[in-house]
Structure 1
Amino acid sequence: MKNKISFLVISVLFTIHSNAQCAMCRAVLENEEGQTAAKGINNGIVYLMSIPYILVFGLGFFIYWKYFKVKKNKTI
């Protein structure tokens, strides 16, 4: 139980630290005139965030498909 609490506290501290870095990047990008770099950063974040979700969804669908295909063949 003591390990779980210490892990939770350390995780929260790392999360607080990472939010500060995002705020710094945001402050730098908001000061730009045309906002083209900010749009590029936002598009890059969405692109980088979507790839893992697509891969996990694909793997989950593959496992689901194989599991129910095997289960259906056993009932016949």
Structure 2
Amino acid sequence: METLGGKARWVAGLAGSEQYVRSVRVGVDVPVIFQRRDGSAHAVNVVHVRHGVVTVADAQTGEKDATADVLAATGV
């Protein structure tokens, strides 16, 4: 997975993205690009909702919590 927070960086799966976003100020959302098992790519936003709490939002599907979808698609 790649997390884009001013500078693109590789992270260790969704957990790595969530950890990075927890380290930035509340209210920040960071685009995350991941590759599905079928080889296609997709992007979601990991949002720092409140101190220590992040959520995964998918603007294309309108899901406010797409965590399960990302984990199922990537197997990570």
Instruction: Report the TM-score when normalising by structure 1.
Output: 0.27
More strand by share: 2
- If asked which structure has higher relative contact order (CA below 8 Å, sep 6+), I would say 2
More helix per residue: 1
Structure (1 or 2) with the larger CA radius of gyration: 1
TM-score normalized by structure 2?
Answer: 0.27
